[in-house]
Homo-oligomer: A and B are copies of this chain.
Amino acid sequence: MSAPPISYAALQAFIERAFVAVGIPQADAQTTASLMARADLIGQDGHGAFRLPQYIRRIQAGGVNKTPKFHIIEERAATAVVDGDNGMGHLVMHHATELAMKKAETTGVAWVGARFSNHAGPASLYAMMPLKRDMIGLYVAVGSANHLPPWGGTEMLLSTNPIAVAIPGAKYPPIVLDMATTVAAYGKVKTAAQRGEMMPEGWMIDCDGNPLTDPTRASEGFLLPIGGPKGYGLALIFGILAGTLNGAAFGRDVIDFNADDASTTNTGQFILALDIKAFADPDRFRASIDNVWEEMKSAPKMTGVSEIRLPGERLDKVTRERTEHGIPLAPALKAQLDDLATRLGIAPL
C-alpha cells in the first residue's frame, strides 16, 4: 500500500514548517525546503525528504547553526572561499553558487569553495543552478561519512565524494552527470535497507574482501570505488579539492553525520561555474549538444538493450512525471514524516 503521491508544493511547505518549528528563520527554511523538495522532484530519493528527520535531529542536538553568518575567507576575481558558519549545507552552497555565477559572468569561469558547510543534498541541485544563465555547472563535495578505504587498505578514510556536471541543450534535456566515485552511492545502500532489499554484488565488500549484499550489515564493510584504484584516486582528489583546499574536513577528520548529531562536521564543497558565452555562441553550443544527444541515441545497440540513455535523461523524465503526478513517498518514509510532524507539533503532509 503506497501513500498517494505528494505535490512538490506540499512537500516543500511541509519541510519548511519543520525547519521553522525548530528555529530556522523563515527565509532560510524556505530556501532549504525548496532545494530538498526539488531533490525529491528530480528523483534523488535518498537526498530529499528522506533526510529531514536526520537534519531536524542534528539541528535539535546543536550540530547545525540555525542562524549562520557567511564570511568570505579568501577572494579573487574568479575565486572565493566561503565560511558557512556551520549553517545548513543547502544554504551555504546556494550562496556559493550564486557568487560563482556572478563572478563567472565577468571572468568566464569561477570556482567557489566552502568550509564549515554541511550535507547539502544531491550534487546535481547545484550543478544545475548555472544552466539558466547559459553556464555549465560542476559541483564536488566531501561526503558526510567515510565509506571506503584507500585502495588496498581497510580503514575507511574516504567518502564517496560525488561530482555533478550539468550542460544545457536546446530541444533535449540538459546533460546532467551526478555520480559518486563508488559503484553505488551510500544513499542507495540506505534506500535498499529501508526498502528491505538486498544489494547486488559489486556495491560493497566486507573487511575480508568478500561481497557484502545485505544493506543492514553495511557498517561491517565498505563501498567499492569505480575502476578500483581509479575510483580511489578520484575520491582522493575530489576530497582534497572540496575539503583540504578549503580548510574543510577530509580523511580522519570527517565526522560520520549518520552516527553523530552534535559535532560540527566542517563539510567542504566547491562549485565551478563556466560561462558558455566566454567560449562560444550559446545557441550554437546548445545545438551542438543536441547533436551529441542524437549521435549517442542513434548508435546501434547491443543485443538486449532497448535504449541508449544520456546522463540526465532519467532525471528529466522523473522530474516531468513528478511535476505532473506528484512525488511518491515510500510508506516507511511517510510514517517517519508523520511521526516528525507529531513531535514538532506541525500540520502533517
Query: Residues of A at under 8 Å CB distance from B?
Result: 74, 76-79, 81, 106-111, 113, 136, 149-155, 157, 165, 167, 175, 177, 179, 183, 208-209, 226-227, 229-231, 233-234, 236-237, 240-241, 244-247, 250-252, 272, 274-276, 278-280, 285, 288-289, 291-292, 295-296, 299-303, 305, 307-311
CB-based contact A151/B108 at 8 Å: no
**Inter-chain contacts of A227 with B (CB < 8 A):** 179, 183, 226-227, 231
* A-B complex: 9 closest residue pairs judged by Cβ atoms: A226-B227, A79-B108, A76-B108, A153-B299, A78-B107, A152-B305, A155-B299, A78-B78, A177-B233
The CA of A308 and the CA of B165, in the complex, are separated in Å by: 30
Q: Please give me the residue from chain B that is nearest to A274 by CB atom.
A: B111
CB distance from A102 to the nearest CB of B (A): 13
**Inter-chain contacts of A289 with B (CB < 8 A):** 240, 244
The CA of A229 and the CA of B167, in the complex, are separated in Å by: 18
CB-based contact A275/B150 at 8 Å: no
Protomer copies: 2
CB-based contact B230/A179 at 8 Å: yes
Q: A113-B279, A227-B231, A237-B177 are in contact. Are A300 and B155 (CB under 8 A)?
A: yes
CB distance from A169 to the nearest CB of B (A): 10
Q: A136-B241, A179-B230 are in contact. Are A76 and B154 (CB under 8 A)?
A: no
**Inter-chain contacts of A274 with B (CB < 8 A):** 79, 111, 245
CB-based contact A153/B300 at 8 Å: yes
CB-based contact A301/B237 at 8 Å: no
The CA of A275 and the CA of B288, in the complex, are separated in Å by: 32
Which of A155, A157, A230, A234 has the most B CB atoms < 10 Å from its CB?
A: A230
Listed by A's residue number, 18 A-B pairs whose Cβ atoms lie within 8 Å are A79-B109, A108-B111, A150-B296, A150-B308, A153-B302, A154-B302, A157-B299, A165-B237, A167-B241, A179-B234, A226-B231, A227-B231, A237-B311, A244-B292, A247-B280, A251-B291, A251-B292, A251-B295
CB-based contact A307/B152 at 8 Å: yes
Known contacts A109-B109, A165-B237, A226-B226; 19 additional CB pairs below 8 A are A76-B108, A78-B107, A78-B109, A81-B279, A111-B274, A136-B241, A150-B308, A152-B302, A167-B241, A177-B233, A177-B234, A177-B237, A209-B302, A226-B231, A229-B309, A244-B289, A245-B279, A245-B285, A251-B295
